Structure 1
Amino acid sequence: MDLNLDLLSVRLNGTDLVRELSLDVRSEHVVGLVGPNGSGKSTALRCVYRALKPSSGAVWIGDHDLSTLSLRQSAQLVAALSQESGTDLDFTVEEVIALGRTPHLRGNQPLSARERELCRRAMKQLDVTHLAHRGVLELSGGERQRVLVARALVQEPRVLVLDEPTNHLDVRHQIELLSLLKGSGLTVLIVLHDLNLAAAACDHLGVLAGGRLVASGTPREILTTALIRNVFGVDAEIIAHPLTGDPQLLYSLDPDLVKGTPS
């Protein structure tokens, strides 16, 4: 199912956080939002999972203007992992993951055999089966992050929205998660700060700066030294990955090299 951000704007307390953002996320594609801190990425995502109402513009899921749907209907279409996702209650891992079925249940309706199998499959996919009976408050940040992604998958959304999902994850689990998303068959909108991961995982990138979309295209099209310098204020050498051809950015911590004046 396609996701479309149509001239989306968000103004809060007199400040324009997102300005006329238009972005198409084609069905079953992974689209990344990248940009410096404060560029509007998380704000745009909050509009997609309805934690924030846009000042103008619209979010479309297929033929539906998201604002015309009930919250239950929205939750049946869109699942989200936000930066603030979590729980203060010490539910077990399997209880937290089962909460992903809430939009599809009525009252205290128990999970069906199929839904219990969905939960088991998601736990296996995110490598948390061995944590099933542990309380989530006992988990490390990376373990809890994987539990929350599993909960989102159990929701069976058509669109998955993820805000920095690789936070707290070790290298193995970062790669496994992004590989899972690429093969999930879902429409995915994801915020990533690691541009090398974004280049490897995303079919398309939207670059934000100052709340505006300043570049959009495939990673190979838009990840250039000029864009990295202009948007992020950093000089980087860009090479092609020897196996995939994806652009990979090389940085230096030498201040002279960063300024472009080798010593």
Structure 2
Amino acid sequence: MDLEIVDLTVEVRGRALVDRLSLRAGAGQVVGLVGPNGSGKSTALRCVYRALKPTSGKALAGGADLTGLSIRESARTVAALTQDGTVDLDFTVEEVVALGRAPHQRGNQALSRREQDLVHEAMQRLDLLPLVDRGVLTLSGGERQRVLVARALVQEPEIIVLDEPTNHLDIRHQIELLSLLRGVAPTVLVVLHDLNLAAAACDRIGVLSGGTLVAAGTPLEVLTPELIADVFGVRARVVPHPETGGPQLLYTLDPAVPNRREPCE
């Protein structure tokens, strides 16, 4: 299912945190949002998973306005992993992952055999089987992050929205997670701070600065030394990855380039 953000604007106290953002993620694509702190990335994502109502504009899933769906329909369509995703009760890993089936059930209905298999497969893919009976409050931040990603997969959404999902993950699990995102069927919209991970994981990248989309395209089209200097205020050399040929950024420790763009927050 394709996801389209159309002229999305979010204003707070007369200031635009997101200003007329339009961006499309085709069915099955992984699309990244990158930009400096305060550029509006998380704000835009909150509008997609309906935690925030935009001032104007809309988010469409398969051509349907997400705000027109019931909460249950919306949860079946979009799964979200937020920056501050937490679990306050000490459920086991398996219990938390199984909560992904909640939008598909009524009351305290037991999981079907197929749903149990979904839970097991998601835990296996996220390297969680050794932790299956552990309480989530005893886990490290990275382990808990993987539990929440597994829960999102079990939800079987058409679209997955992730806000900095590699936070707290070691390098192995960062690579495994991003490889997994490229292999799952749903459309993925993901905020990433690491531009090299974004280049490796994303089919397309949108760059936000000051709440405005300043570039969108393939990683090779977007991640140029000129854009990196303009938006992030640092010098970078772009070289081809020796195995994939994709762009990789080598940063210099020279004094930072003046950033000509102001943050929106």
Residue 203 of structure 2: aligned partner:
203
In structure 1, runs of 5+ residues without a counterpart are none
3-state SS in 1 of match to 2:101:
helix
- When normalised by structure 1's length, the TM-score is 0.96
Task: Name the structure 2 match of 1:165.
Answer: 165
Q: Give identity over the alignment, percent.
A: 67
Partner of 2:134: 134
What is the aligned partner in structure 1 of residue 108 from structure 2?
Answer: 108
Corresponding residue number in structure 2 for 1:12: 12
Aligned to 2:120: 120
Letter in 2 for 1:196: N
> CA separation in 2, counterparts of 1:63 and 1:215?
23
Partner Cα separation in structure 1 for residue 196 and residue 189 of structure 2 = 17
Q: Distance in 1 between matches of 2:230 and 2:65?
A: 35
RMSD: 1.1
1:86 corresponds to which residue?
Answer: 86
List alignment gaps of at least 5 residues for structure 2.
259-265
The CA deviation string for residues 136-188 of structure 1, in whole angstroms up to 9 with x for no partner, is 01000100000000000000000000000000111110111000100112100
How far does residue 15 in structure 1 lie from its aligned partner after superposition? Answer: 2.2
TM-superposed CA distance for 1:12, in Å, is 1.9
Give the Cα–Cα distance (whole angstroms) in 1 for the partners of residues 218 and 254 of structure 2: 30
Could you tell me how far apart the structure 2 residues matched to 1:12 and 1:55 are?
Answer: 9
Total equivalences in the alignment:
258
State the partner residue of 1:49: 49
The C-alpha deviation readout for 1:92-150, integer Å capped at 9, x for no partner, is 10111011011001011111111111000000000011111100010001000000000
Alpha-carbon distance, 1:29 to partner: 0.3
Offset of residue 259 of structure 1: 5.1
Query: In the alignment, what sits opposite 2:190?
Result: 190
SS at match of 1:176: helix
Q: Distance in 1 between matches of 2:253 and 2:138?
A: 36
AA aligned opposite 2:127: D
Would the aligned equivalents of 2:100 and 2:154 in 1 still touch at CA under 8 Å? yes
- Counterpart for residue 31 of structure 1: 31
Partner of 2:27, secondary structure, is: coil
Q: Distance in 2 between matches of 1:97 and 1:12?
A: 35
